[in-house]
Chain A
Amino acid sequence: MARRELQEINAGSMADIAFLLLIFWLVTTTIESDMGIKRQLPPPVPDDIEIPQAKEQNVFNVKVNFLDLLLVEGQPLDMDQLKNKAKEFLIATGDGVITHQIDNQEIGKNRDVISITGANGKTNAAFPERKWVKKAEVKLKIAEYELGVKTAEPKDKDAFIKELAKWNGKLTTITLLGGDYKELPSSALISMQNDNNTTYNTYLQVQNELQSAVNELRDELAFAKFGQTYSELEDIYGKNKQDKKTLDKITAVRALYPQRISEAEPRDAGSIYY
């Protein structure tokens, strides 16, 4: 038998192949990052609890039916108008003017002043009534609660400290915004209800537009006041949780435009509305 020469693998290009593979691996493993719309679900409600009814003017109602059609504040509406409608709700001051006053400066001045006559014949009755948060009053409250903290029984002390922190926060907000501001009543919220046959895409678009309304207003305000958009502020704070100054700015913006998007308890719909 003829002696065969031992075959050798040509390994010259091996390094190149390995290198290419390495690159391929590096590229493909930059895993697709998961992004989405952030939501906090409400905790489960015990059966026996009675859900308080908010005043109608304090609620921005969005309903979506099984045909993916929108009913906003009792009126049919197109999806692309939803954002502006929600902004009107959030920015309205409740006294017939849709501009926003902080001391003598006006925020959102470039918007048209719209008056809407509500069902009861009152102008802008469809909007929540914002209440002034005035520096002098806030200072009084702080003094009151400081006294409370000193004199309270130990068991009540925590509650006083909590209240004190809340009012101190409001004072910081006033300082940062540069004047008194008007805050939404605590029951004001955007409420959304959908049908079981609503398409998920429509549902998400509604959520997105509502979120977009809040975010844009916040961005606008933050940029006017601090020269940075709200999302930039959040990024900065996200990277450094010790950054108290940025946090205060975020709190200030949130005080003016709180994000309260709630979902009504789902019902077996179909026949109930429309």
Chain B
Amino acid sequence: MLLFFFMVATVLRTEDEKVQVTKPEASELYKVEKKHLIRYINIGMPMDKRYGTEPVIQLNDAFSQPSDVRDWIDKERETLAESEQSKMWVSLKVDQETKMGIVTSVKQELRQASALKILYSATSRARTGAEE
């Protein structure tokens, strides 16, 4: 019984979501086959209002500044096998109400860190104006 409880509890725990993210909807979605190559950056309002009501960046489990992104990328890249380091994906999970300013600064940092393959995370919907 306990064994099962722990199985459930441990497997489900990914990272703490510290920011509120409602993903936008999009139709042209791409699915990365190898999930272990993806690293996530969350941007949105903090869940806990004590941390303010402006969008913040969450890297792993911590609130961060755009300037932290470069070091974080380097660190995350180290966790991958050398042959796979160039195949790393960065998935941007951004709340749909966020202003682009913070997203742009993160993207600039990603460029500087040469993490160029990115994914704008979104939920699936049908194409607009489907003709024929």
The residue in A17, A44, A194 that gathers the most chain B C-beta atoms within 10 A of its C-beta is A44
Q: Could you tell me the distance in whole angstroms from the C-beta of B100 to the nearest C-beta in chain A? A: 4
Asked if B117 and A40 make an inter-chain contact with CB atoms under 8 angstroms apart, the answer reads: yes
**Cα-based distance from A14 to B110 in the complex (angstroms):** 52
The secondary-structure label for the interface of chain B is: mixed
**A29 and chain B: residue at smallest CB distance:** B11
B101 in the interface (beta carbon within 8 A)? yes
Asked if B32 and A34 make an inter-chain contact with CB atoms under 8 angstroms apart, the answer reads: yes
How many positions in chain A have a CB within 8 Å of any CB in the partner chain?
A: 45
Asked if B31 and A33 make an inter-chain contact with CB atoms under 8 angstroms apart, the answer reads: yes
9-residue interface stretch from B61-69, B76-84, B121-129: B121-129
The residue in A33, A41, A43 that gathers the most chain B C-beta atoms within 10 A of its C-beta is A41
Contacts of B129 in A (CB 8 A): 80, 83-84
The residue in B31, B35, B124 that gathers the most chain A C-beta atoms within 10 A of its C-beta is B31
**A44-B111, A204-B24, A216-B127 known; A36+B122 contact, CB < 8 A:** yes
Asked if A41 and B119 make an inter-chain contact with CB atoms under 8 angstroms apart, the answer reads: no
- Which residue of the partner chain, among A31, A34, A215, contacts B91 with CB atoms under 8 Å? A34
What band does the interface of chain B fall in when counting residues whose beta carbon is under 8 Å from A? 35 or more
**Cα-based distance from A31 to B58 in the complex (angstroms):** 20
**A199-B97, A200-B24, A200-B103 known; A35+B29 contact, CB < 8 A:** yes
Asked if A36 and B119 make an inter-chain contact with CB atoms under 8 angstroms apart, the answer reads: yes
- Which residue of the partner chain, among B31, B91, B99, B116, contacts A41 with CB atoms under 8 Å? B116
B60 in the interface (beta carbon within 8 A)? no
A53 in the interface (beta carbon within 8 A)? no
Q: Could you tell me the distance in whole angstroms from the C-beta of A271 to the nearest C-beta in chain B? A: 15
Contacts of B14 in A (CB 8 A): 31
Contacts of A151 in B (CB 8 A): none
**B35 and chain A: residue at smallest CB distance:** A34
**Cα-based distance from A38 to B33 in the complex (angstroms):** 13
- Which residue of the partner chain, among A31, A80, A195, A200, contacts B96 with CB atoms under 8 Å? A200
Asked if B95 and A25 make an inter-chain contact with CB atoms under 8 angstroms apart, the answer reads: no
B54 in the interface (beta carbon within 8 A)? no
Asked if A35 and B24 make an inter-chain contact with CB atoms under 8 angstroms apart, the answer reads: no
The residue in B112, B123, B128 that gathers the most chain A C-beta atoms within 10 A of its C-beta is B128
- Which residue of the partner chain, among B118, B122, B128, contacts A83 with CB atoms under 8 Å? B128
Asked if B99 and A43 make an inter-chain contact with CB atoms under 8 angstroms apart, the answer reads: no
**A21-B4, A200-B96, A204-B26 known; A41+B111 contact, CB < 8 A:** yes
A205 in the interface (beta carbon within 8 A)? yes
Asked if B111 and A37 make an inter-chain contact with CB atoms under 8 angstroms apart, the answer reads: no
Contacts of B7 in A (CB 8 A): 25
A266 in the interface (beta carbon within 8 A)? yes
Contacts of A203 in B (CB 8 A): 100, 103
Contacts of A198 in B (CB 8 A): 99-100
**A35-B121, A41-B111 known; A212+B27 contact, CB < 8 A:** yes
**B119 and chain A: residue at smallest CB distance:** A36
**Cα-based distance from A209 to B28 in the complex (angstroms):** 8
Asked if B30 and A36 make an inter-chain contact with CB atoms under 8 angstroms apart, the answer reads: yes
Asked if B103 and A238 make an inter-chain contact with CB atoms under 8 angstroms apart, the answer reads: no
- Which residue of the partner chain, among A21, A43, A201, A205, contacts B97 with CB atoms under 8 Å? A201
**B100 and chain A: residue at smallest CB distance:** A198
Asked if A37 and B128 make an inter-chain contact with CB atoms under 8 angstroms apart, the answer reads: no
Contacts of B24 in A (CB 8 A): 200-201, 204-205
**Cα-based distance from A204 to B30 in the complex (angstroms):** 14
Name 15 interchain pairs, CB-CB below 8 A, sorted by A: A17-B1, A28-B12, A36-B119, A37-B120, A38-B119, A39-B118, A197-B100, A199-B98, A201-B24, A201-B97, A204-B96, A209-B128, A212-B127, A215-B28, A266-B108
Nearest first, the 9 A-B pairs at minimum CB distance are A196-B101, A201-B96, A36-B119, A38-B30, A211-B28, A36-B121, A35-B29, A208-B26, A41-B116
